[in-house]
């Protein structure tokens, strides 16, 4: 059906949700598909899928039809909570479309689609022109070159045998190819290679106990598990090594970010924030329905640093320890998908700005790093 017709067309035109108890009663309802398929619509929930960087732009529509009522019949009505959950799905779809569209174009190019080739060539030329026009401000905005970790001063020891063998500094790293214990063994090596162990005076035995405690703090969930926690750390590790935008991070910043990344889903119960809030779960009560899981993870991560046997930051002065805690909490809270759209908008705004104040926006950059790392395996 053309997307200027029916309820879909109305949602596209208005850019807003429609929740109908009986779709046939809406003036825009079109029964063409109903006639062709024989499937009769009654309750209908329809939401626009928005462009991730421009919420005024509708790029698609998602519909749910005929909710099943408690008696098993398809005569129920969609609730406000149903709309909330479908809106979350629409957000993920919009984000996925934005991130995957160039992969689709590349596949089309490889299949010799001349129209797609011309589109890719055009946008490639446009990107090149934009890069040239911005080149004068790149140095001041990014403060350093890629692959140098900025003030971390990584030397040739970066290419240690263990790190190289694990490909942990590569996009080719496959977290599922390693045992939980092997992943645990890689964490101290990453802290060493980033300079955190030396400059933040981390004791090897304490680091080992802390990493083991973090691993054991994860539940055996299908996704939010130890492997996912490590994958977020690994992607942060890769980004800090590869992206010049993060070259201003100090060793203290890096340590706070790495602790947050590894611990960002510790104690995850395998349920969503919405479920916990709607079921009046104890965690929702504790954190007042706000970023429930993220606050829970941050709290558990901070508690580990307070225990004598896992207090890896204990050799730092009190001011530095408070800084680590502040960074950790802010980074873990930044993994809440409720802030995803706002974060994408701010990134887009920074890309078009003349200069990014790295010192002032350092926490923002750390939030971007952990948020993207959290999503990297999806």
Report the C-alpha dihedral over residues 232, 237, 242, 244, rounded to 10 degrees.
90
Is the confidence at residue 203, as pLDDT, over 80? yes
Of residues 39 and 359, the one with the higher pLDDT is 39
CATH 3.30.450.40 in the chain, residue ranges? 6-108
How high is the mean pLDDT of the chain? Answer: 83
Is the confidence at residue 285, as pLDDT, over 70? yes
Mean pLDDT of 204-217: 97
Range of lowest pLDDT (108-112, 273-277, 341-345): 108-112
Closest alpha carbon to 298 in 276, 316, 324, 318: 324
Q: What are the tens digits of pLDDT across the range 218-275?
A: 999 999 999 999 999 999 999 998 888 788 899 999 999 999 999 999 999 999 998 9
Q: What are the tens digits of pLDDT across the range 120-146?
A: 554 455 444 444 443 333 332 233 333
The pLDDT value given to residue 352: 59
Mean pLDDT of 7-16: 91
Is 155 assigned a ligand-binding role in the annotation?
A: no
CATH code given to domain 144-375 = 1.10.1300.10
Is 265 assigned a ligand-binding role in the annotation?
A: yes
Of residues 204 and 243, the one with the higher pLDDT is 204
Of residues 93 and 326, the one with the higher pLDDT is 326
Q: Measure CA 2 to chain center.
A: 33
Selecting among 26, 199, 224, 268, the annotated active-site residue is 224
Is 296 assigned a ligand-binding role in the annotation?
A: no
224 is catalytic: yes
The top-scoring range by mean pLDDT among 161-165, 267-271, 342-346 is: 267-271
* H, E, C per residue of the chain: CCCCCHHHHHHHHHCCCEEECCHHHCCCCCCHHHHHHCCCCCCEEEEEEEECCEEEEEEEEEEEECECCCCCCCCECCCHHHHHHHHHHHHHHHHHHHHHHHHHHHHHHHCCCHHHHHHHHHHHHHHHHHHHHHHHHHHHHHCCCCCCCHHHCCCHHHHCHHHHHHCCCCCCCCHHHCCHHHHHHHHHHHHHHCCHHHHCCCCHHHHHHHHHHHHHHCCCCCCCCHHHHHHHHHHHHHHHHHCHHHCCCCHHHHHHHHHHHHHCCCCCCCCCHHHHHHCCCHHHHHCCCCCHHHHHHHHHHHHHHHCHHHCCCCCCCHHHHHHHHHHHHHHHHCCCHHHHHHHHHHHHHHHCCCCCCCCCCHHHHHHHHHHHHHHCCC
Is the confidence at residue 56, as pLDDT, over 90? no
The pLDDT value given to residue 354: 55
Range of lowest pLDDT (25-34, 278-287, 354-363): 354-363
CATH 1.10.1300.10 in the chain, residue ranges? 144-375
Is the confidence at residue 153, as pLDDT, over 60? no
Q: What percent of the chain is predicted at pLDDT more than 70?
A: 78
The pLDDT value given to residue 143: 33
Instruction: Enumerate the β-bridge partners of residue 61.
Output: 48
Q: What percent of the chain is predicted at pLDDT more than 90?
A: 55
The top-scoring range by mean pLDDT among 46-50, 342-346, 349-353, 360-364 is: 46-50
Q: CA angle, corner 227, sides to 161 and 158, nearest 5?
A: 25
Mean pLDDT of 4-12: 88
Those residues with Cβ within 8 angstroms of residue 371's Cβ, 6 or more apart along the chain or in another chain: 334, 335, 339, 340, 343
Residue matched to tokens 């709290």:
299
The pLDDT value given to residue 376: 85
The pLDDT value given to residue 111: 60
Q: Is the dihedral angle over the CA atoms 358, 363, 368, 369 positive or is it negative?
A: positive
The pLDDT value given to residue 353: 59
Of residues 33 and 110, the one with the higher pLDDT is 33
Mean pLDDT of 87-116: 70
Is 371 assigned a ligand-binding role in the annotation?
A: no
Nearest-angstrom CA–CA distance, 20 and 18:
6
Band (166; pLDDT cuts 50, 70, 90): low
Superfamily (CATH H level) for 6-108:
GAF domain (3.30.450.40)
Q: CA angle, corner 250, sides to 247 and 253, nearest 5?
A: 105
The pLDDT value given to residue 361: 83
pTM above 0.75, yes or no: no
Q: What are the tens digits of pLDDT across the range 297-329?
A: 999 999 999 999 999 999 999 999 999 999 999
The pLDDT value given to residue 109: 58
Angle between helices 251-263 and 318-333 (to 10 degrees): 50
């Amino acid at each position: 059906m053309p997307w200027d017709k029916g309820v879909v067309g109305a949602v596209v035109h208005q850019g807003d949700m429609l929740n109908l108890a009986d779709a046939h009663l809406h003036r825009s309802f079109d029964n063409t598909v109903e006639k062709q398929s024989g499937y009769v619509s009654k309750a209908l929930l329809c939401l626009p899928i928005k462009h991730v960087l421009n919420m005024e732009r509708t790029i698609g529509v998602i519909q749910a039809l005929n909710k099943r009522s408690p008696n098993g019949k398809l005569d129920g009505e969609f609730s406000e909570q149903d709309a909330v959950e479908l809106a979350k799905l629409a957000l993920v779809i919009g984000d996925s479309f934005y991130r995957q569209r160039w992969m689709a174009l590349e596949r089309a190019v490889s299949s010799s689609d001349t129209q797609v080739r011309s589109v890719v060539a055009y946008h490639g030329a446009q990107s090149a022109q934009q890069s040239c026009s911005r080149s004068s401000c790149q140095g001041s905005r990014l403060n350093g070159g890629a692959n140098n970790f900025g003030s971390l001063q990584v030397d040739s020891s970066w290419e240690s045998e263990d790190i190289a063998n694990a490909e942990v500094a590569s996009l080719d790293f496959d977290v599922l190819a390693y045992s939980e214990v092997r992943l645990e063994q890689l964490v101290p090596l990453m802290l060493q290679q980033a300079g955190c162990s030396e400059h933040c005076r981390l004791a090897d035995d304490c680091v080992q106990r802390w990493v083991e405690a973090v691993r054991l703090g994860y539940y055996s969930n299908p996704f939010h598990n130890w492997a996912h926690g490590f994958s977020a750390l690994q992607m942060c590790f890769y980004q800090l090594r590869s992206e010049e935008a993060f070259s201003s991070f100090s060793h203290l910043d890096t340590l706070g970010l790495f602790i947050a990344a590894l611990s960002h889903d510790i104690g995850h119960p395998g349920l969503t924030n919405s479920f916990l809030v709607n079921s009046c779960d104890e965690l929702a009560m504790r954190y007042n329905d706000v970023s429930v899981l993220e606050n829970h993870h941050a709290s558990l991560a901070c508690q580990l640093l307070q225990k004598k046997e896992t207090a890896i930051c204990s050799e730092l002065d009190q001011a530095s320890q408070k800084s680590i805690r502040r960074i950790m909490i802010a980074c873990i809270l930044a993994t809440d998908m409720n802030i995803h759209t706002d974060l994408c908008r701010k990134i887009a705004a920074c890309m078009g700005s003349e200069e990014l104040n790295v010192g002032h926006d350092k926490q923002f950059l750390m939030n971007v790093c952990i948020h993207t790392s959290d999503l990297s395996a999806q």
